[in-house]
Amino acid sequence: MKPSLVLKMGQQLTMTPQLQQAIRLLQLSTLDLQQEIQEALESNPMLERQEDGEDFDNSDPMADGVESPAPAAQQQEEPYQDANYQETTQTVDNLEEGEWNERIPNELPVDTAWEDVYQTSASSLPSNDDDEWDFTTRTSAGESLQSHLLWQLNLAPMSDKDRLIAVTLIDCINNQGYLEETLEEVVEAFDPELDIELDEVEAVLHRIQQFEPAGIAARDLRECLLLQLRQLSAKTPWLSEAQRLANDYLDLLGSRDYSQLMRRMKLKEDELRQVIELIQSLNPRPGSQIESSEPEYVVPDVIVRKHNERWLVELNQEAMPRLRVNAQYAGFVKRTDSSADNTFMRNQLQEARWFIKSLQSRNETLMKVATQIVEHQRGFLDYGDEAMKPLVLHDIAEAVGMHESTISRVTTQKFMHTPRGIYELKYFFSSHVSTAEGGECSSTAIRAILKKLVAAENAKKPLSDSKIAGLLEAQGIQVARRTVAKYRESLGIAPSSERKRLM
């Protein structure tokens, strides 16, 4: 084959750094967005925060090509919209509907990546007007189980040899609070020159088992329950019977063979029920009481409330800081000046304009999606989970005239505050199941009905998956038994054999 030159025509979509930034802002959570805005304020002198009580001035000083800032201020309308399709115009800078990802400034800065101007890592330092900033809350990490046990170990009088054994044992305790290694394995881990024997390790283990939380460093569930029972008051009712049950008949309790338990322990049904209630009050995973992960905070992006029998949707203004271009700094930009300082200021001004437009487009898109969700799930807001309707991303994408990927970005890590609680926007999307009448029922509604049936069941004869499927079919909902089992497991509900109670 001879080498040759071939001319081909094709189409290619290239996203500018500014468009990439707009899409990235769209999928950020509220907390991440606040950090991004703070970083932009610190990096770009042309941006400033709009203070409360001030008229929002978002005019573009360079829009008409003059050196001085434009005198007219453009009021931003209140981000408020009725779910009954009484649309409120929220477009700023005359952005047309559906063009949030197509508009670019008339004059672009030099072709540089957005990350060259704004660093990706947001600063966690407080702003000048942040009086409630708490250094300890934002910088401290949660306490681990090992550090909690080592703190207690430092308060206990021990010899150096015993302390070495104790530290080794604490390292062998997992997050649930159980000792993962056998005592023989612990002894083998030490240097033979230390001459550590098995009875010494066991003695130190007994001392660690007296630490908090109760039941720590147990080698199995039986020992964990017995350790907790031993720390109860001797006057606790049914304490001796509970210790006997945990020590000798724990397997029968696990299989819920209550008749065998009553016969072997020589207890009546009511007496055995009280003994089991004492056992159930214990914690089978004592290590889980020490939480080492940092708390996660949720700030709602959208607030839904009912006014005059209508559901209204509005953005959370406290979580959405308003920005504007600093008119004084923008006035220093000269159109004909090509010096390095003027070029830098012009680029900063263009970046500030696009950042503000990206934020406004994000808010508009979020409002459109949230309004359509509320319009579709009005029954859920009025009556609860059982009235949830089937909803997929394609339905909202068609209603607002956007792509499904855009809807997916908008609904990720975005939360809606409703009178029924705070929910992620993705919570309102669910698949559907056909009904006998030819309609559809959402999987969320089926889960709510299933949970209600299990809560009202007879504890002595819990409902099986087949029985629940039959009850749902009687209500016109056609669900297979394996589907019921899948929904039950997603709700964290145990099988019927494990839900049986002695009441």
Domains of the chain: which residue ranges? 145-289, 430-499
Q: What is the CATH number of domain 430-499?
A: 1.10.10.60
Q: What is the pLDDT of residue 302?
A: 92
- When pLDDT is averaged across residues 206-218 and rounded to a whole number, the result is 92
Q: What is the pLDDT of residue 26?
A: 83
Q: What is the pLDDT of residues 442-491, one digit of tens each?
A: 888 888 888 888 888 888 888 888 888 888 888 888 888 898 888 888 88
- When pLDDT is averaged across residues 151-175 and rounded to a whole number, the result is 91
DSSP 251-292: HHHHTT-HHHHHHHHT--HHHHHHHHHHHHTS-S-GGGGS--
Q: What is the pLDDT of residue 329?
A: 85
**pLDDT band of 64, cuts 50, 70, 90:** very low
- Report residue 357: phi and psi, to 5°: -65, -35
DSSP 142-177: PPPHHHHHHHHHHHS---HHHHHHHHHHHHTB-TTS
Q: Lowest-confidence range among 53-67, 309-323, 361-375, 450-464?
A: 53-67
Q: What is the pLDDT of residues 122-159, one digit of tens each?
A: 334 444 444 554 444 444 455 788 889 999 999 989 89
According to DSSP, residue 384 is labeled -
Q: What is the pLDDT of residue 117?
A: 41
Residue 77: closest CA among 342, 447, 364: 364
Q: What is the pLDDT of residues 304-358, one digit of tens each?
A: 999 888 999 999 888 777 888 888 888 888 776 778 888 888 888 888 898 898 8
Q: What is the mean pLDDT of the chain?
A: 79
Q: What is the pLDDT of residue 142?
A: 58
* Spatial contact of 213 and 230, defined as CB atoms under 8 Å apart: no
Comparison of pLDDT for 92 and 139, the residue scoring more: 139
Indicate whether 78 pLDDT > 60: no
Q: What is the pLDDT of residue 292?
A: 60
Torsion sign, CA atoms 325, 31, 380, 404: positive
3-state secondary structure 317-340: HHHCCCEEECHHHHCCCCCCCCCH
Q: What is the pLDDT of residue 313?
A: 92
Taken as a whole, the chain contains a residue count of 503
Q: What is the pLDDT of residue 498?
A: 78
**pLDDT band of 282, cuts 50, 70, 90:** very high
Residue showing tokens 């150096």: 160
Q: What is the pLDDT of residue 291?
A: 67
Q: What is the pLDDT of residue 437?
A: 65
Indicate whether 54 pLDDT > 70: no
Indicate whether 85 pLDDT > 50: no
